[in-house]
Chains A and B, each alone.
Chain A
Amino acid sequence: MSRSPLHEIHGELGARFVDFGGWEMPVQYRSVLEEHRGVRNGVGWFDVSHLGRFLWEGATARDSLRSLLSNDIDSIEPGRTQYTLLLNEGGGIEDDLLVWWWGDDRFWVLPNASTHQMVLDRFRAMAPDTTSVDLRPQTVMLAVQGPEAPSLLEELLGVSPRRFRTYETSFAGAPVWLAGTGYTGERGGEVVTDPATGGQLVAALIESGALPCGLGARDTLRLEAGLLLAGQDFDDRTNPLEAGLDFAIGWEHDFVGKKALESVRSVGVTRRLTAFSLSGRTIPRHGHRLRANGSEGEVTSGNFSPMLEHGIGLGYLKPPSEADPEVEIRGVWESAKRVELPFYQR
């Protein structure tokens, strides 16, 4: 089991830990609800050092990204980030990832924690001439999120990150890289630096009143914001059209899995991710049965929405169906209401 270089700091802050993708990371400090609301109403910070990240650089870097990933890197420019997918030949989603584009031939690729090595191996195999450096062993990564995050980042790092932009800056004399990204639906950024500087930055964040937040709040925040969790809301047998990730496909370029996706697009999907909410405080959970109009599926993600104060969930159902679904919670079919994502928006 891997640990963040900041593990001891979390312990001192009273964190409880959970195994996530082979990493022992903080799941909560004092309270998931408190941390969730802290991020929605102010600013919180998360240690996300478990997330994958590697440098991808060289003359062949850009072309290899274009042919490996579903979104078209040519539709953005240096200084930007892009959400994209790694598909298999059948069009199934192997991983969702972010690309941070620093300069002409210099990129960072950020897969999920548990898929980091698989993605890195795949990239290296498919483009052996491109330089790759695994950044995870030598850096920490922090997410600073919430309406007050941009001003706090400006105060500490001299940069108020704009959405999907990348910045190179410094803290206490050491280089810091950040982007206006996150997994909460709030403004803010994700910051990468060396472990010692990361520790100092955490001290400064705490000093400024930013709330330490764990993976528990990260999960309720991302679900409220309608952001999917790889391996849970989709896997390598789910295609992006089913998962509602059409926006991450650049149809104008060739990429792994495109042929399969084109045939799905012409025939139509047989199931589609459906978002629903419950009126009471009964909570849908991963694995609960879901049905609507004779179509049956399972809840992929479900929890209590701290902001809406009712249960919310995601699951796959057969289209087209405008019918409100029902979810089976401990033997009782509860009526749910079909809703559009995100569940919650400021």
Chain B
Amino acid sequence: MNVPEHLRYTKEHEWVDLVRENTIRVGITDYAQDALGDVVFVQAPKLDQALDTHALLAEVESTKSVAEVYAPVAGKVVAVNERLATQPELLNQDPYGDGWFCELEIDDENLISNLLDAAAYRQLTE
């Protein structure tokens, strides 16, 4: 499984990338997309929505089941990956790239240091 070194992770198989000051990009990991199987629908978050930590961020339907994705850190949705509405398969094809969910503006970027690093996440999935 692909676990990029520069990202942070949650036990719920989300990845977090600090893209700008106090702004994180969120998606699900290669491990998660693989376990879900073919993704056919993504209920994406709404722009400007304020989310608490662990609040429901997105729902992902696959041919096998449905999975819920939670906000890894509290924040406000400042960008949404619109392409997922018509191309949910991007989640399978490029989970760390074109398959991202949304960007959250967070209060304090230091909060993400509480999340798992690549080594810890890799250990979790082994």
Contact = CB atoms under 8 A, between A and B. Distances in A.
B57 to A, nearest CB: 14
Nearest to B85: A281
B64 A304 contact: no
B83 to A, nearest CB: 14
A144 B87 CA distance: 30
A330 interface: yes
A285 B40 CA distance: 14
A32 interface: yes
A166 interface: no
Interface string A161-203: 0000000000000000000000000000000000000000000
Nearest to A36: B63
Interface string A322-334: 0000000010000
Given A216-B63, A304-B63, A283 B40 contact: yes
B64 A285 contact: no
B30 to A, nearest CB: 15
B72 interface: no
Interface residues of A, number: 16
A313 to B, nearest CB: 13
A341 B3 CA distance: 44
B17 interface: no
Nearest to A309: B40
A32 B40 CA distance: 11
Contact of A281 (B38, B65, B88): B88
A304 B41 contact: yes
Interface size band for B = 10 to 19
Given A216-B64, A220-B63, A303-B63, A283 B37 contact: no
Given A33-B40, A283-B66, A304 B61 contact: yes
Given A281-B88, A283-B66, A216 B61 contact: no
Contacts of B65: 285
Interface of B: 37-38, 40-41, 43, 59, 61, 63-66, 88-89, 92
Interface in A7-47: 28, 31-34
A208 interface: no
Interface string A296-307: 000000011010
A32 B61 contact: no
B2 to A, nearest CB: 17
Nearest to A280: B41
The interface centre, meaning the residue of B37, B38, B61, B66 with most chain A CB atoms within 10 A of its CB, is B38
17 contacts: A31-B38, A31-B92, A33-B40, A33-B89, A34-B38, A216-B64, A220-B63, A281-B40, A281-B41, A283-B61, A283-B66, A304-B40, A304-B41, A304-B61, A304-B63, A306-B63, A330-B66
Given A285-B66, A330-B66, 12 more contacts: A28-B37, A32-B63, A32-B64, A33-B40, A33-B89, A34-B38, A216-B63, A220-B63, A280-B41, A283-B40, A304-B63, A330-B59
A31 B37 contact: yes
Nearest to A32: B63
Given A28-B37, A281-B40, A304-B40, A33 B63 contact: yes
A345 interface: no
Nearest to A34: B38
